[in-house]
Amino acid sequence: MTAPALRVIVDGDNNNIYRGGDKVTGKVWLVVEEHEQIESLKLVFAGSCITKTSRPLHPNTNTDVAFSRQDYEEKIRLFNREKRLVSDGKLGPNKYSWPFEFFFPASTEPQYKRAVHGANYPREPHPLPPSFQFKTNSPGGIAHVSYFIQARLVLRGSTETKRCKCTLRYHPTPPTGTPQRARLTSSVLYGQVWKPAKDKEESRVKKVFSGVSMNSTPRIVPTLLHPSSVAPGQHIPLSLNLLNARDPSNHAQQKCTIDTLSVTISTYSTTMCGNSTTYPEDQVSKHITCILRSDLNKSIPFGKTTSLTSNFRLIDDMECIPTFKTYTITRRYTLSVSIGIKYNDQPFAIRSTTPLEILPRLPRDSLPPLLQPEDGDDVEPLPRYRPREPSREFAPDYESIYNALSRTPSSEHSALSLAGSTSSSLFSGAEAGGDISGASTVASTPDVEIEHLRFERVGV
């Protein structure tokens, strides 16, 4: 007995990325070789969130044997749509198809009680998370967010369900009003106020004429300007402002020097299986240093905002997942900046770590063009093109070749060899007449046909 063949085909490209409100169309195909009693043929369009992990049965032991660990698993349906195609029917040998049409929702549907699942479960529906999959550090630990269309066939009298699934890729829609350029947030780092040591060699006269008090050592208050949210492809602007609290207007025209710069983006992924009070959580962190520069020697006057980055953009790859929080999975990011400054050769480090929200990717036509490099950036220009004087060694002189051939001694043998080695109509006619004594031993070219080559400069 041949089992029916079941297949789901979605229209369009297999790598198509769907967003909220997009329409998904296709067909379900069923090939029946013999008469079959169909109990049900159902089509399911759903989104699921699955987390798995394991823990030792005896926490005090270090063994990793499989049977000594307890497995945990949690499955959450983000939404569920069903269509019944066949119910209690009989199908004869044939090839059947049913078209389908679904629309991607923009948010989750089920609501869970926090008293049962814990406070980490969102009480209200929230935006759908993107398609997502990664492994945790625990044995067997995974996190998986997937969207799919699945056909389920149950034959009468059978306990088995034949399934065929087609996975769909989903990416959230950018929030309404997302600007083309990332907006800056100002963070005054009062906890890192710096008072350099006094310069003993500084003259009292300079202090008096500078309009600053006798104690002219600055009291530096750093302010870091950074984005709180950014989309892939957008420039990540970073700026620094140093305020001298003892001379806010900087009448003394003092300044510091930026010596080093380090920028790191950290990723934190948290998975949970059930209630956080009774079931385990896995946390995975990853730190990527995006900028690491030293010996910058860049001046920064007090009270003036100085840009630290140009064309610093987020790479749109598999790691660049938008920030999200759903029932059992959380994905978040932080931006860490470390700036080394100097004042009169005295070093000081400014450090800041702030949350960074990665937004869904914007359409390419809405992204701003690449920024032009700022003055002082290390840019290696391409060499300028210079036209080269034509060289005669690549183009032999035609006249010299002709004169050299003209000086070749005439002989009957040379005439025969030359006539036999060419297909010119001139020599073909001489051979046909049977008289080659009057034929020239070389290819005769009238003087008016000789090309006199001239080399001229061509403007580029």
pLDDT at 264: 96
In a domain, 373, yes or no: no
What's the average model confidence in pLDDT over 168-174?
93
In a domain, 441, yes or no: no
In a domain, 439, yes or no: no
Same domain, 342 and 412: no
| Lowest mean pLDDT across 84-93, 185-194, 439-448 | 439-448
Same domain, 164 and 22: yes
DSSP string, 223-285: EEEEESEE-TTSB---EEEEEETT-TT-TT--EEEEEEEEEEEEEEEEEE-S-TTTS-EEEEE
Name, of 230-234, 291-295, 419-423, the range with top average pLDDT.
291-295
Same domain, 314 and 252: yes
What's the average model confidence in pLDDT over 24-29?
96
Same domain, 214 and 325: yes
Residue 209: φ, ψ to 5°: -75, -15
For residues 219 and 243, is the Cβ–Cβ distance under 8 A? Answer: no
How far apart CA 451 and CA 447 sit, in angstroms, is 9
Same domain, 346 and 221: yes
Maximum distance among all Cα pairs of the chain, rounded to whole angstroms = 119
Same domain, 188 and 163: no
pLDDT digits (tens, 9 = 90+) for 281-326: 999 999 999 999 999 999 999 999 999 998 898 887 777 899 999 9
The residue range of the domain holding 293 is 184-197+208-366
450 or 123, greater pLDDT = 123
In a domain, 459, yes or no: no
DSSP string, 106-165: SB------HHHH-TTS-SS--BPPPPEEEE-SSTT-EEEEEEEEEEEEEETT---EEEEE
Same domain, 362 and 409: no
- Strands 161-170 vs 17-18: parallel, antiparallel or unpaired: parallel
Fill in the amino acid letter for 330.
T
pLDDT digits (tens, 9 = 90+) for 122-159: 778 899 999 999 999 999 999 999 999 999 999 988 88
In a domain, 239, yes or no: yes
Same domain, 321 and 414: no
Q: First vs last Cα of the chain: how many Å apart?
A: 79
Domain count, the chain: 3
Residue 383 gets which letter from DSSP?
P
How far apart CA 104 and CA 109 sit, in angstroms, is 12
Fill in the amino acid letter for 110.
P
CA angle 195, 197, 203 (to 5 degrees): 115
Quote the tokens at residue 180. 């083309």
pLDDT band at 65 (very low <50, low <70, confident <90, very high): low
For residues 199 and 217, is the Cβ–Cβ distance under 8 A? Answer: yes
pLDDT band at 207 (very low <50, low <70, confident <90, very high): low
Kindly report the CATH number assigned to the domain that includes residue 344.
Answer: 2.60.40
pLDDT at 429: 40
DSSP string, 437-451: TTS-SS----GGG--
Same domain, 166 and 282: no
For residues 48 and 76, is the Cβ–Cβ distance under 8 A? Answer: yes
Same domain, 248 and 112: no
Quote the tokens at residue 334. 């932080």
How far apart CA 240 and CA 339 sit, in angstroms, is 9
In a domain, 306, yes or no: yes
User: What CA dihedral angle connects 205, 209, 212 and 216, to 10 degrees?
Assistant: -30
pLDDT at 233: 85
Same domain, 147 and 291: no
User: What CA dihedral angle connects 412, 418, 424 and 425, to 10 degrees?
Assistant: 10
Residue 267 has pLDDT above 90, yes or no: yes
How far apart CA 114 and CA 134 sit, in angstroms, is 26
Kindly report the CATH number assigned to the domain that includes residue 122.
Answer: 2.60.40.640
Average pLDDT, the chain: 80
Quote the tokens at residue 118. 């814990």
| Lowest mean pLDDT across 107-111, 130-134, 191-195 | 107-111
Same domain, 163 and 193: no
In a domain, 289, yes or no: yes
In a domain, 444, yes or no: no
